[in-house]
Structure 1
Amino acid sequence: METRYANHPDDSKKYDTSELRKNYLQEKIFIKDEISLTYSHVDRIIFGGANPVDNKLTLKAGDELRADYFLQRREMGVINVGGPGTVTLDGKEYKLNKYEGLYIGKGTKDVVFASDDKNNCAKFYINSVPAHKTYQTVKIDRSMAVTAELGDQKNMNKRTIYKFIHPEVCESCQLSMGVTMLKEGSGWNSMPCHTHERRMEVYFYFDLPEDQRVFHLMGQPNETRHIVMANEQAVISPSWSIHAGIGTSNYTFIWGMCGENKDFDDMDNIETKDLK
């Protein structure tokens, strides 16, 4: 598990390209037959991927958590972005196809990831945050998600938002998680942009052609920066930072949030003309 420390906005605005990427970008989410995780000190979110190919993968707590098992004091969300697979929780199997997810409650001891077909392996994207209470584990597909159609073709931001881990879908302590799919011909996400001082966020970009890129925008509204991102990469967004992007092609991304509340619309909106 890799550790990333929190960064002050006054420090971050002085970073060059390599420093921005070192502190905020995770380029390797999926590694064959590994569970690859990043522990961020921003609200102590853990994010990453499980990529079982030839072997089943068992989630371990690791020294970073100093826990008897990974979810002893945590909850977790999982969304499959690859081929069909199975997540086994304390002996109970949950089949997940692409764009299907799980909310996993605190106290689940054994978590095992497996692919149905090594030639079309599952890719389980993971978000985990501290939890104070145990809520029911729930399998979630897009038919269960709270759905919103936003944007328009004129502004190149036509997209569908699927809210997977959301109060109208399932209970959680503080984790919110969902999928946003951009329509063909659209490239902008989350623009006009916003911050939310009460929550941090991690974006995971996927379904992006290998020769295309997303220019992810971050920083304070009057000190914006960008990070160029490829397919299946993730970026940390502290509460003080905007989080938006423009792609050279349409794409899909998973957003995961944790912090003070679970109110999706709790945003400090910023007019595009005020960005610098």
Structure 2
Amino acid sequence: MIQVRYSTSPTSVETAHASDLSENFLVEDLFETGEVHAVYTHDDRLVVGGAVPGSGQLDLPAWTEVLGVDSHLQRRELGIINVGESGHVLVDGEKFELDHLDGLFVGRGCEVVFAGADAAFYFVSAVAHVSHPTVALSHADVEPVALGTTEGASVRNLYKYAWGNDLATAGLQFGITVISNGSVWNTMPPHLHDRRTEVYLYVDLAEDDRVFHFLGKPGATRHLVVANRQAVISPPWSIHAGAGTGSYAFIWAMSGENNEYTDLSLLSLEEL
């Protein structure tokens, strides 16, 4: 199953009802056992999805009626992170084992199959004009970047999986940020990616915990209340920041005009 989301105006967010914000930006039901669910957003043509194989295997669907192709990766590249327990992904028949938070980059033109009784695979695909090799990305082998301060309740480790330097992609960037115990903010002050759409998937939250995710233009922000394994789509004009009621992590993924990780606009608290 795939859902289509259309681009929105920043001014519409300022006066939107809470239900309108959820309908346009919150992705709630990606992970259903035995199924592949996804959302196609017209913002930079990203597809975000979840595959939960259960006792069988699941092919990455082509969704021809939306993507206009016979194979999902005919004109796209793919990032995958396992947010469940151990499983594996077959890429053109080659097996890649993925433990919790391990990632995989898959280049244009490949066929993908998901497997693992207790695995839950999150994936993001983006339009690609060239093909790059498939690369396994072990969470344990990625050197984290330490960010934030204890005083600001924002201590976190940033794991860059694909970000425009060490791993060649056509435009897709993705990775994961793990918030340290006792901290709540995933970023503050926030920033803008004027040339890229970004999606956050919040993971590893306790059942009763939530993240208050802020979005909108600086000076006119709104918020969403987000549970475990739910995602938020951030158009290029929107900030993206959040604070959690307990420990959590989030998977970030971007695509747009370039894959320069530092191509962003920093904001001050006064600008909010």
TM-score above 0.5, yes or no: yes
Q: Which residue of 2 aligns with 1:125?
A: 122
Quote the Cα distance in structure 2 between the aligned partners of 1:169 and 1:125.
Answer: 22
| 1:162 matches 2:164 | no
1:54 CA displacement:
1.8
Q: Which residue of 2 aligns with 1:263?
A: 260
| 1:112 matches 2:113 | yes
Contact 2:164 2:261 in 1 (8 A): no
Contact 2:79 2:124 in 1 (8 A): yes
- Other structure's SS at 2:144 match: strand
Q: Which residue of 2 aligns with 1:64?
A: 66
Matches within 5 A, 1:20-169: 20-62=21-63, 63-108=65-110, 110-115=111-116, 118=117, 121-169=118-166
Matches within 5 A, 1:220-231: 220-231=217-228
Contact 2:164 2:171 in 1 (8 A): no
How many pairs does the alignment contain?
A: 270
1:68 CA displacement:
1.4
Quote the Cα distance in structure 2 between the aligned partners of 1:159 and 1:77.
Answer: 22
Quote the Cα distance in structure 2 between the aligned partners of 1:272 and 1:189.
Answer: 15
Q: Which residue of 2 aligns with 1:205?
A: 202
Quote the Cα distance in structure 2 between the aligned partners of 1:81 and 1:263.
Answer: 26
Q: Which residue of 2 aligns with 1:189?
A: 186
Please list the CA deviations of residues 84-125 of structure 1 after superposition, one character each: whole Å capped at 9, or x if unmatched.
1010011111111111111000010x211000xx3xx10111
Quote the Cα distance in structure 2 between the aligned partners of 1:178 and 1:267.
Answer: 16
1:273 CA displacement:
2.5
Percent identity of paired positions between Structure 1 and Structure 2: 43
Quote the Cα distance in structure 1 between the aligned partners of 2:31 and 2:131.
Answer: 28
Q: Which residue of 1 aligns with 2:9?
A: 8
Structure 2 unaligned blocks of 5 or more: none
1:145 CA displacement:
2.9
1:199 CA displacement:
0.7
Contact 1:145 1:169 in 2 (8 A): no
Structure 1 unaligned blocks of 5 or more: none
Quote the Cα distance in structure 2 between the aligned partners of 1:130 and 1:146.
Answer: 28
1:147 CA displacement:
2.4
- Other structure's SS at 2:31 match: coil
- Other structure's SS at 1:21 match: helix
- Other structure's SS at 2:24 match: helix
Contact 2:171 2:259 in 1 (8 A): yes
Given residue 49 of structure 2, which amino acid in structure 1 is its aligned partner? G
1:166 CA displacement:
2.0
Quote the Cα distance in structure 2 between the aligned partners of 1:144 and 1:83.
Answer: 18
1:261 CA displacement:
1.4
Given residue 97 of structure 2, which amino acid in structure 1 is its aligned partner? K
Please list the CA deviations of residues 149-180 of structure 1 after superposition, one character each: whole Å capped at 9, or x if unmatched.
00111110000000001233311000000000
1:144 CA displacement:
4.1
Given residue 85 of structure 2, which amino acid in structure 1 is its aligned partner? G
Range moving further from structure 2, 53-62 or 144-153: 144-153
TM-score normalised by L of structure 2: 0.97
Contact 1:129 1:258 in 2 (8 A): yes
Quote the Cα distance in structure 1 between the aligned partners of 2:186 and 2:173.
Answer: 18
Query: For residues 146 and 263 of structure 1, do their structure 2 counterparts lie closer, same or farther at Cα, with a shift above 3 Å needed?
Result: farther
Given residue 92 of structure 1, which amino acid in structure 2 is its aligned partner? E
Given residue 171 of structure 1, which amino acid in structure 2 is its aligned partner? A
Contact 1:144 1:164 in 2 (8 A): no
